[in-house]
Structures are given as C-alpha cells and as structure tokens.
Amino acid sequence: MTSAATPPPKQTPPIRFALSTPAGDLELAARLDLPTGPPRAYALLVHGYTCSMDLAITRRIAEGLAGEGFAVLRIDLPGHGKSAGAFAEANFTAFRGAVLAAAELMRTRYEAPTILVGHSLGGAAILSAASEIPEAKAVATIGTPAKVADVVRLIGASPEDVRANGEADVEIDGHRFTIRRQFLEDAAAYDIEETLPRLRKALLLLHAPRDEIVGIDNAARLYSAARHPKSFVSLDHADHLLKDPRDAAYAARVIAAWSSRFLEEAPQPTPQGHDAVLVSEIGQGQFQNTVLAGRHRLFADEPVTVGGNDLGPSPYDYLAIALGACKSMTLRMYARHKGLDLGRISVNVRHGKVAADHCEDCGAVAEGRTGRIDRFECMIAIDGEVAPELRDRLVEIAGKCPVHKTLQQTAAIVTRVGDTHEPTEITPTGDAGNLDGQQAKPKS
C-alpha cells in the first residue's frame, strides 16, 4: 500500500489501437496508469455499459491499483468515451473483441495482462474473453450481471419494446442512449454462466448487497457456476458505481491483495553495499528507471520532448536536486551553529549548457576553455529579512556544501540570495544559450 510520502501514480497520454470488425477497423482509446516504481504486474480494466474509462469508478480503480504497484490499461469500449463507433451499433461481440484487442496491445507494446478486471457489463466481457488470454492468472469483476442480455432491463429499457420497435431510448444521468434490437440478438449468443466452469483462472466477485442496478443475486449465480479457486467480497454500503471514493479505493486494495497470491513476482534487486545506489531499467518506455537508495525508492525518466514519458526527474534534475538539497542543509547547519534566526530556506536550481567564453560569472571553471560548459544557477530564498552583510556570507557558506565542491571541479555554479521566498526567474548570462539544456537529445 502507498504511504503519504509516496508520489501519486502517473497516467500516460491517451493510447490508440485498432479493433477489426466485419465493417472495418475501429479506433479504440485507452489510458495506461503506471505505478511510481517497476510494475508488479499488468492489469486490464474494462468499464461498464454506458460508462467510460474516465468515469470516476474506472479512474479510481485504475489509480488505486497503480498505487498498489500495478500497471493498469483501461480502455473505452466501442461506442463509448473516446473510442470510435456509434453506441447504438455496438454490441457484446464488439466489447469482447475490444478486450482481446487490448490484451494483444499490451502483449506487443508493454506486457500481457496477468490480471483482468471488469465493472458491470465490462466484467461480463472480461469473463467471456478471459480463456483466450493465456497469460491472465486472475479475474476480478465488480457488480457484474450473470446474463448479458439482462443489462438492457437493468439500465431501465424494455427488451420487449426494443424487439417490437427495433430500438428504445433510455436516459442515464442526463445522457440519452439508444439500444437497438441487434444488441439483444447478439447478447443472446453469450451465456456467461455456461462458460464460467471453463474459466480455469482464479476468480474474485465483488458486489454490493445494496446494488439497485445489478442485484446481488447475480453474484450468487456467477459464484455457483464458477469453479475454485473463487472468492466473493461484499462491498457493504456501496452503490453500483461505487460513487464514494472510499468504496473504489477499498475495491482496488482488495483486488491487489487477492491477486498477489496468483502472481509470480520477480525478486527485487538491492544495492550492493549500505551506501550504494542501484539504478535499474524497468523495461517500459525508452528511459524509465527505478532508483533504490537505501530504503528509498525513486523513479527516473526523461521528458516527453526527448522521447521519455516524464514519469520522474531526469538525471540532470537529480543533479540539481542534490545540489539544491545540499546547499539548503548546509545553510541550516550553519544557522544553527551560529544561532542565526533564519526563516525557511529554499533553493531554486537551474542547469544549462553555456558558452565558456561568454559566461561572465562562471569564474575559474571557464578560464581558458572553449565550447560549452555546464552551468548551475542557484537562487536561495529565505523567509523573512536577511541583512545585506549576511547575504554574502550565506552565499559563501552555500558554496562550501560537499555537492557544490564535487560539481565545481568540472561545472560552473552561480549562487545568489533572492529577496523573497517565491521562486525567482533566472535569466541567461551572456551567450548562455538555453538554460534548460539541449532539446535534441536526452539530458543525460
């Protein structure tokens, strides 16, 4: 489980992939929610009928699982959300196909899903397709109907009217949806209860006893049809959409804990030596690395502009972090030693490549050198008044920090004290070029 100090999981930009249908390819949309470290496993998450991957329940489940260390691909089914296709023309066959297409996307681009999670009719699609995803070890459903065609009645439409008139409209949360006869005819071909005995995967059924849309009896029917290993968890006091964020968070934690029993998690590497730092690729994206420093786990990446996913600081960001933290700590130690009443200290650090012969404040580091050199500019901000005569002394003390001394052997570092605690805009000196570094390649 994540702690208060753990950074929130990261979400990649929308992903597009194709679903082949008799009428041609449909472009479907997905999002990948990543944990802050290497994924324990990959999960595929499918929303319910008339819902979407960005609906609160889907988003919260994905974020909750990512917070527990899982990478989660959530998709928009055909005719839903950001995926192509008309809602009225979509059917369960297309939903099932979307699940398989998403699994193939994960298999080829990331890693095949070992956990399948579905809400409502999305759970039925997961159950129907799971046997064709051999890598999947565990399947979890939330508020899933036992019979596909029942979803029409469950959302308030009349199957009789649909059959008699060819279609019927239903309004849900202010949105009007059209359901056509073809959906019922297609759904009739699928019997989830009949296929469950052949699932051959661990099954977890989560259902709210107070679910007014998909009754708890559906969970009983599915549980009876399934074979072991199977489990049931009651989502007490929750509604069908788990509108209370605590219910979605609880469901995600339960799924994460339960599924862990069925995963083959690789042992995590550890640094060799108590003072060592271990940096390891996680196998995702071009540059993503996990960083183990003592008992601390961090993440490193590159910006999107140079081909990364921006899921963590870049290597040069970490250099700036080290320099800024070292200066702040050194100043605080000095203030305590001297009994100085200094307010809160912060250090704003910028790094860039500058022309050595045009850097007027780079000092001895730039003397006699040509080409570009590294330049770190540090702006120290201190809450409260700082006497002018003390400022020069603070700059001198900040320059004595160990990281400053290490970097200054090959890099120019310029330190100043600002007037306020607010971040100060730092501008290039002379022909300093782009202080953010070169953009044509990674900053590492």
Is the pLDDT at 227 greater than 80? The verdict is yes
> Stretch 289-298: mean pLDDT, rounded?
82
Of 11-15, 255-259, 418-422, where does mean pLDDT reach its minimum? Answer: 418-422
Which domains, from first to last, does the chain contain?
10-262 (3.40.50.1820), 315-417 (3.30.300.20)
More confident of the two residues 3 and 401: 401
Give the pLDDT confidence of 155-208 residue by residue, as tens digits. Answer: 666 778 778 888 877 776 667 788 888 888 888 899 999 999 999 999 999 999
The pLDDT of residue 284 is: 65
| DSSP symbols for 79-122 | TSTTSSS-GGG--HHHHHHHHHHHHHHHHHHS---SEEEEETHH
Closest CA to 40 of 113, 142, 108: 113
The pLDDT of residue 425 is: 46
Cα-Cα-Cα-Cα dihedral sign, residues 16, 20, 26, 31: negative
Distance CA 120, CA 138 (A): 17
The pLDDT of residue 4 is: 36
The pLDDT of residue 25 is: 82
Q: Which tokens sit at 220? A: 């009983």
Is the pLDDT at 86 greater than 90? The verdict is no
Whether the CB-CB separation of 138 and 259 falls below 8 Å is answered with yes
More confident of the two residues 442 and 233: 233
Residues of the chain above pLDDT 90, percent: 48
> Stretch 45-51: mean pLDDT, rounded?
93
Distance CA 18, CA 25 (A): 6
3-state secondary structure of 260: helix
Q: Which tokens sit at 302? A: 């590159």
The pLDDT of residue 429 is: 41
> Stretch 103-129: mean pLDDT, rounded?
95
> Stretch 19-28: mean pLDDT, rounded?
77
3-state secondary structure of 238: coil
> Stretch 70-78: mean pLDDT, rounded?
94
Q: Which residues of 294-330 are buried (b: 16+ CB within 10 A; e: fewer)?
A: eeeebbbbbbeebebbbbbbbebbbbbebbbebbbeb
The pLDDT of residue 47 is: 96
Closest CA to 35 of 75, 67, 74: 67
Is the pLDDT at 345 greater than 90? The verdict is yes
> Stretch 335-362: mean pLDDT, rounded?
89
Give the pLDDT confidence of 352-372 residue by residue, as tens digits. Answer: 888 888 887 887 777 778 888
Mean pLDDT of the chain: 84
pTM of the predicted model over 0.75? no
Give the pLDDT confidence of 230-265 residue by residue, as tens digits. Answer: 999 999 999 999 999 999 999 999 999 999 999 876
